[in-house]
Every structure is written in C-alpha cells, then in structure tokens.
Structure 1
Amino acid sequence: MAETRRGGPVPRRMGAAETGLPVASDAATLRAAGRQPPLPFCVALADGRPLTMHRLLRVLPGKRLVGEAELDGRRVLAKLFVGRRCEKHWRHERGGLDALRQADVSTPELVVATAMAAGGYALLTVFLEPAQSLAEAWAEVSERAAGDAEALAVLAPALGMLGRLHAAGLVQDDLHLGNFLRHQGRMLVVDGDAVRVISRGQRLPPADAGANLAVLLAQLPPVWDGQLAALLPAYTAEQPLLPEQAVMRRNIERVRAWRLGDFLAKTVRECTLFAVEHTSARFSAVRREEAETLAPVLASLASLDSAVASGRVFKDGGTTTVARIVVNARPLLIKRYNLKNLRHAFGRLWRPSRAWHSWREAHRLLFFGIPTPRPLALVEERCGPLRRRAWLICEYCPGPNLLNHLAADCEPSPAEANAIRDLFGALRRHRISHGDLKATNLLWDGERVLLIDLDGVVQHRSVAAYERAWRRDRARLLRNWPSACALRRWLDEQLPAACG
C-alpha cells in the first residue's frame, strides 16, 4: 500500500455490485458520487483495459479517489483524478514521482499513468503490503519520553529521507507523517503531487530547508522541541545546511500555531476527519469514523433527548444534564446544555454554545497531547442563525475524580505525582487555563490525569493574561483540601508558582 489517510480508511458503502460484477463507472459518475461510491466499480483506461477498484483508502469528493485496485490481475494502488481540472493535478503527481526517482529518493514503483477512456486520469503504483505509515509507527511510541531511543529510531529514517530530498533541491509541500511509508525495512516517500522542485540538483538554502523541516517536526509533541540535538543528526547526514536551532524552534512554533488553527477550523466543517450537517434547525459535527455508530443517537433532537433520559444521569441541573449512555456496548458520556429560563435563552442566542466551546477546546487539548476524554459529536439546536440547546458526546472515563481518589493526609504516589506535574506543566507551556479547576474536574484513569468540563478553557495570547487566570485556577484547586493537610502542602510546592 502506498497511500495513507489520516483518520482511518474511508467507510465503504455497499451496493448491489457487492454480490455481482463491478459496476461500470466513469469520471463524471465518480465526481457526482461524493465520498462513498458503491464498491466494487470498474473504469476503462484509455487503452481499453478495465481497472477494478475494490477498496477505498482516501476520497477527496469530486476530485480524487485513492484505493486498492486490480489491473490485468495485479494489485495496484490507484489514484483516480476525476475533477473538472484534473489533468493539472495528474501531471503534477507524475512529475513529482519522477523528481523523487531522479533524486534517488525511494518511492513506490510506477505501473502506469494514463488517461481514462471516458474522461479523467489514472496513476497506478505497486501495492505495497505489508506496509506501515510513519504515522502508524509513531503512534506506537509517541507517549514515550522526549528523546527516547526507540522513538528516535522510528523518526530517523524519515528525517534522513527528508534530508536527501532537500539535498536534491526538492520540498514536500504536504509534509506529514502519513506521507512516509515503511516497507520491508525501507522508508519511502509517497504523494508526488506535493513534491515541488526548488533548485533541481542543488541543495536547498538553509532558510528553505529549515522551513520545510519545521513542518515535519511541528507534528511531534511540543516536549520534543528541546530534542533538536538528538533529532537533527539523521537529517544533517544528508543535508548539512540548516538555520541555527533557535531559528528552527521559532519555525516549529509558527508552523504548530498554523496547524492548530487549521485543525480547529476542520472540526466544524465537512472534511476527511469530520462529517458536518448544517440546516436551519440544527448543526452537527461528528468524527467521521464514529458517524455510523452514533447515527441512531444523532438522528434527531428527540433521539438525543431520549438517549439522555435513558442513560445513567450523573447531573441534572438547570443549565446542564450529564448522563452515561451505552452505544453498541460502548460506554459514552452525553452532556446536554439546557436553557433554564427565557432570560438565559435570550442570552445564549447569538453566542456559540458551551458545547461548541467544549468541543473546540477538547480538540485543542488533544492536539497538544493534554489528556481529556476524546470528543465524538457536537449538536446545536438552531433557529436559523440563532442557537438554543446543545449536546456534546465524548468518550467515557470510568476513573475517579481526584477529590475522591487522593487522600488528604498523604502525598500522591509517584505515578500520580508525575501525572499531575505533567498535566500542569503542559497547560503552562501552552498558556491554557481551565476556569473552574475543582478537583472533581480532574479524573484519574490509572495512568494519567484527565481534564474535563471544558466550558471555561482558554488559551491565552499574553503571558500576563495567563498568569492572572492561573492564579485563580491554582487557588481554586488548592481550596479542595484543608490548608494544613499533607496533600495540599505537596500541591502548593509542586504546582507552577502563581506569579504577579
């Protein structure tokens, strides 16, 4: 396999063709089919040979489909370009693969690049199996300590490959971990469409090389920013020209800030990761891989209310109702944000709901690697542009909160102490305040401390604003325990100081 997709495989939509021969298709049909054309389907290449698509790995609706296919009895990775201006992208993809090969950068072997008989273009490469993307390999070691030898060993081949790319005067404009593939001990670069020639055959200038390398390094957890001395040797063995490390760190911070903004915008619009529906009566966003499972719950506002009513209710207040529900034998948490009276309803009409804010901030925390239950779906009741009630569904954490879990008369265990320090260290690095830091909003899952109830979470632009908010958060957390107890004394010593 030589194409990966962030967020997992595209779900297949079964059609009548599943029990018979592939359905004949063409570029216009595939362009109109959206994200899930019936499988299997067959398209004719310009020379008349049939190409049968069996499994989709990635779909850009109306533009491109990527998947496992068969040509002349051979498995191939097929990219079908079906958009109205697809020839440009097809030529760019082919040119990028040619540039990689000329630079001696490993990339999957090209089988054929041709037009399709009824419009559109196809680019076929060998199907590599077994293969693992760097994103998948990194996920297995990403929680190890920054600088861990095994984690470095996972990253080093990709860094060396990128160095070779830059030494040949090329950059990868869509540089993410999924565009590196490990196969039979080799690292390969995929996605030729994103390869751009800057200075063919000549090393990139340090500024260009550093800027492109920063795009890759910004996808590592921020705690790795201090490990450039360990990360860079694999790269500089191929391409020694780089800016100073201080400049590299600034580049990484800039790229990470851009990636965060881009990601948060995607959480509320239709894209590969999220399925979004927006009507005059409601707005909904759901993680695409969860859409089928949650469909019965999300079917209507009534079904959401029914799920809340039938669940185990933990809280039923004027402004929020929280319940544990079970969907396909999987426990989930659903939180409904109520309107307690007419005045409250008028006050919420124009503002994003607290569910919207919690959805966004949960994704922000997870982007930075800060533990919180994974948000799965957001629904807002709408009346045109006006907002009313809202619902948030997230994973359920069965662990106890810290008020119940920690004993006031002794210090936390080493594992608990490290988890507490890690959480508040990360929040401080990113200048994130909680706004209601009660011990009941901190859950222990056996390994980590998870932050919940994110209605008031803010990432501050200025240090001064963050320090003011942190003083309030810190004081609120300490008030959970008597002033003379051992736990409070330990927290007071270990938590970041309240400055100013």
Structure 2
Amino acid sequence: MASPNLTTASALRAAGRHPQLPFRVALADGRQLTMRRLLRVMPGKRMVGDAALDGRRVLAKLFVGQRCERHWQEECAGLDALALAGLPTPERIAAGAMAGGGYALMTVYLDPAETLAESWARVSGRPPGEAEALAVLTPALTMLGRLHAAGLAHDDLHLGNFLHHDGSLFVIDGDAVRVVSRGQPLLSAQASSNLAVLLAQLPPDWDPLLTVLLPAYAVGTGQPLPEVAALKEQITSVRAWRLGDFLAKTVRECTLFAVEQSTTRFSAVLRRERDFLAPVLDAPDAAIGRGDVLKDGGTTTVARVVIDGRGLLIKRYNLKHLRHALGRLWRPSRGWHSWREAHRLLFLGIPTPTPLALIEERVGPLRRRAWLISEFCAASNLLTHLSADREPPADEARAILTLFGSLHGQRISHGDLKATNLLWDGSRVVLIDLDAVVQHRTAAAHARAWARDRARLLRNWPPGCALHCWLDEHLPAA
C-alpha cells in the first residue's frame, strides 16, 4: 500500500475543513506523523485527529495558522500546569515544530473514551435533580474544584472538555487552562466567576438546584460553598452572552453549522446533517411534492417527508401576492425567525423539534421565499390528547407546568398559543409553530404578551370545564 501523501502546514491551511486523508507531516526532529482521522478542524488554524507516531496511536493537534506558535505554547503550558498540579490529563508524548512551519502536539490516545457532553446528552431530558443526571455533573464539579484549589482556571469550560476513560475523569484542552495563582487556591470571586461558566451550560431549570450541585464542587476545593445569590447572577450573565454567541453561529460558517450564500440563495444546515439533507437542500419543493402535505395555505405549505425511514417536516413560507412579497423583501423571513427561535428554545432547554436546515431565496440582499426543515415530531396535540372534562393526568400536568414555567422564566411569548401547537410526546410537551416567538427584554413587554398567550391557550377549552379551570389556576398569573 502506498504511503499517505506528505503535506505541509501551508497546504493544510489552504485545504480548509477537508484535507485529504490520510496524510503525513514531517516533524522538525526528523520523525513523521500520519494523520488517519480528523476529529475537529478549525479551518486555517488547527486540526485535531487520530494519528500514528513511531507506530503508536496518538491524539495529534496540528497548529497550522500563520501565527500559531503562541497557541501551541499555551496548549503545552496548560497541559504542564495540569500535570504539575496532579490533575488527570492525557499524557504528553511529543511536542515541537513541524518541518516547513507549524507546530504539533501529541498526547496519549484514550480509547475507549466518552466526553461528559456525550454522557449528558443521554440524560439531559430527565427532570432536574434526577440521579443519573446528577451522576454526570458531579464529577465535573469536583474536578473543577480541584483545578481552582490548585490556582488554575479553565477559560473554555463545557462538558465536552471532561473525558471519561477507564473509570477516571480527565481534563482536556490545555490551551484554555490558565495559571492564576500556582499552588494557591483561587480567590472566591475568581473561582465563582469561573464556576458560573460551567453551570451556565445547564438548562435554567437546574438553577434552583445549585444547593444540590455545589457540595460536589466544595469536595474538590476544600473551601466553603460560594454565595448562591451572587453565583446565580453570574450564571444569568454568562448564559445571556452564550445565547447571543450561539444564535450568531446558527447563521454563519462554523463547527456546528454549514452556511452557503450567493446572490440568489442562503442556506444554513447543522453540519452533521449536511450530507443526509443534501437532496432536500438542492430541491426542497421536489421533496415537498414527494411528501405528505399537511397544510397548503396562502402563507405556508407544510409537508411531512420520510427519507431513509426518518421523518422530516418541511415548512415553506410562501408569498401570497406582490404586495406581500414587497413587504417581506427587507425583513428576515419567517423561516429565518423560526430557525433562530427554535435554536433559542433548545439552548434554554425548552422542548421543540430540532431545526435541521434553513433556506432563503434571495435577490442580492432582498429576501423572498424560505424553507425550514425540522425533525418531525410524531405526537398528539393537547387539543386531542387532553379531555376538557377532567384535569390533566399527573405526567402531562407536570410537563405543562414545566414548559410554561420555563417560558415565563425566560420572558418568552409564543404569539399563537393554540392547543394544536402543543404536542405531547409521551414525556414532554413540545412547542411548535415558532413564527411569532419572542424573548422580551423587559418584564412589562413580556407581561403584556403573556396575558395574550394565556388567554389564547384558555380559549381552547370551554370556560368552566375542568381542564380550563385547572389551567387557569395553575398557569403563571397574567
């Protein structure tokens, strides 16, 4: 078998997100590294992958940007700081310059391994405080406490940077590790600020459980618990920043989303779904034509489409006439709005079908029709699922109150709260039809919108019936 092509940092930089695999790079010490599989790519900057060095399997980080030495040095320094503090992190095997430019860092490849983000994905839908969910979170909090006790902070705190392997938890991503006070615990304000970054990754309905989570952190620090009220304020601030940053990413090229734009078309798609959705993205109307049309109105056409046994919902936002078209030219389409709001809800832990892709027809900067592609939720709506003459069953009651508690707490209004826009999937109430969803900046604006939402929801059932009365008693007051 022929050896993989030998390449350079400049060629890898030019290859962007898709260098040809496998490939070899020459190290300045005369050895060669073979990259077999890429795990993460920051185009033009760095790539991380499954590689081989001297016949040994390694995790390789290649720093290929034009001014990458500083990032390589920070990565090496972070791993050294973790090791010096006795904190588990993958062992460094080699680090140095690449021949012809760029730098490489190789560590032990931990296999099998699972990030806490992957573990969390299996339990994130469980009720806050549920034992299995706590079992995922508490080791990360204890480990963070150990970092802070050693005078270290981690500037990219998320569950993906904690790795389970062979019964142990490892900290990864050394370039985000910062030495604040080596050998001395962080000051309480510094520790609380860094802790808030990790806790802000959790859905807001976990916030009331801080007193349950914090003891695990204290086990690591050996210090008194942080002040809860101040920590909550920091979490809220971090979460707001993260939300804004995430929503901006949903419509630009990045690790999570693939975006294409021309003078006639804009599209954004979850990168992991791009290949699967390629035929639909190329011809969304043809896909609708092959599907089961659920609604074909003046402003929207909705169809259920099955591809390789997987159900999708395609919603096309139509233009009724010339006046309607002219009125929409300069504004983001309703598809664009629904795409962003669906991602907002999921970010905040509020159930809605996963949005997979957005397409907009354009004429330069002017918008025309749009298509939104989402997972299809095969569930009954509350109008048919619930009986008007009795209170909702316990599971449904709990899910209804959880949903509206979350929406109310985040100052989110729906704008068209028909019972047919609320689906029961067997464990949760799922919100659909997000064209008019708004997260309000002020309590007063939200109060007015919630009064309208509340009244619209109650109109789904006759006044005086058991379900109407139960909702009126238990929903947040108008």
In the alignment, which of 77, 80, 86 is matched to residue 95 of structure 1?
77
The residue that corresponds to 1:344 in the other structure is 324
User: C-alpha displacement at 1:20, in angstroms?
Assistant: 4.8
- Give deviations 1:44-94, integer Å, cap 9, x for gaps: 111222211111110000110101101111100000010101111111100
- Give deviations 1:253-291, integer Å, cap 9, x for gaps: 111111111110100000000000111101110000000
2:442 matched to 1:462?
yes
2:344 matched to 1:364?
yes
The residue that corresponds to 2:150 in the other structure is 168
The residue that corresponds to 1:284 in the other structure is 267
Distance 1:157 1:403 in 2: 43
The residue that corresponds to 2:409 in the other structure is 429
SS in 1 for 2:435: coil
Q: Does the CA contact (< 8 Å) of 1:27 and 1:82 recur in 2?
A: yes
Distance 1:353 1:331 in 2: 24
- Give deviations 1:419-473, integer Å, cap 9, x for gaps: 1111111111111100000111111112211111101001111111111111111
User: C-alpha displacement at 1:161, in angstroms?
Assistant: 1.5
Distance 1:335 1:130 in 2: 41
2:465 matched to 1:485?
yes
2:250 matched to 1:270?
no
Q: Does the CA contact (< 8 Å) of 1:264 and 1:363 recur in 2?
A: yes
Q: Which amino acid aligns with 2:379?
A: G
Structure 1: where are the runs of 5+ without partners? 1-18
2:111 matched to 1:129?
yes
Q: Return structure 1 stretches of 4+ with deviation > 4 angstroms.
A: none
Superposition TM-score, scaled by structure 2 size? 0.97
The residue that corresponds to 1:305 in the other structure is 285
The residue that corresponds to 1:354 in the other structure is 334
SS in 2 for 1:238: helix
Distance 1:317 1:44 in 2: 61
2:459 matched to 1:476?
no
Distance 1:395 1:150 in 2: 26
Q: Does the CA contact (< 8 Å) of 1:206 and 1:241 recur in 2?
A: no
- Give deviations 1:9-36, integer Å, cap 9, x for gaps: xxxxxxxxxx853222111111111111
Q: Does the CA contact (< 8 Å) of 1:311 and 1:325 recur in 2?
A: yes
Distance 1:487 1:157 in 2: 43
2:174 matched to 1:192?
yes
The residue that corresponds to 2:232 in the other structure is 249
RMSD between aligned residues: 1.3
Q: Does the CA contact (< 8 Å) of 1:209 and 1:241 recur in 2?
A: no
Distance 1:157 1:491 in 2: 39
Distance 1:194 1:140 in 2: 26
Are residues 298 and 150 of structure 1, via their aligned partners in 2, closer, same or farther at CA, if it must alter by over 3 Å?
A: closer
Q: Does the CA contact (< 8 Å) of 2:354 and 2:374 recur in 1?
A: yes
The residue that corresponds to 2:8 in the other structure is 26
SS in 1 for 2:134: helix
The residue that corresponds to 1:237 in the other structure is 219
SS in 2 for 1:453: coil
The residue that corresponds to 2:122 in the other structure is 140
User: C-alpha displacement at 1:411, in angstroms?
Assistant: 2.2
In the alignment, which of 61, 77, 84 is matched to residue 79 of structure 1?
61
Distance 1:86 1:242 in 2: 39
Identify which range, 323-332 or 206-215, moves more after superposition. Answer: 323-332
Q: Which amino acid aligns with 1:350?
A: W
Q: Does the CA contact (< 8 Å) of 2:215 and 2:225 recur in 1?
A: no
Distance 2:253 2:240 in 1: 21
2:311 matched to 1:331?
yes
In the alignment, which of 292, 299, 308 is matched to residue 319 of structure 1?
299
The residue that corresponds to 1:16 in the other structure is none
Distance 1:157 1:423 in 2: 29
In the alignment, which of 420, 428, 439 is matched to residue 448 of structure 1?
428
Superposition TM-score, scaled by structure 1 size? 0.93
Q: Which amino acid aligns with 1:374?
A: T
The residue that corresponds to 1:410 in the other structure is 390
Are residues 40 and 156 of structure 1, via their aligned partners in 2, closer, same or farther at CA, if it must alter by over 3 Å?
A: same
- Give deviations 1:357-416, integer Å, cap 9, x for gaps: 000000011011111110000011110111011110000012121112222222222221
- Give deviations 1:312-339, integer Å, cap 9, x for gaps: 1111111111111122221100000011
Distance 1:149 1:409 in 2: 36
Number of equivalenced pairs: 477
Distance 1:443 1:224 in 2: 23
Identify which range, 156-165 or 377-386, moves more after superposition. Answer: 156-165
Distance 1:305 1:156 in 2: 48
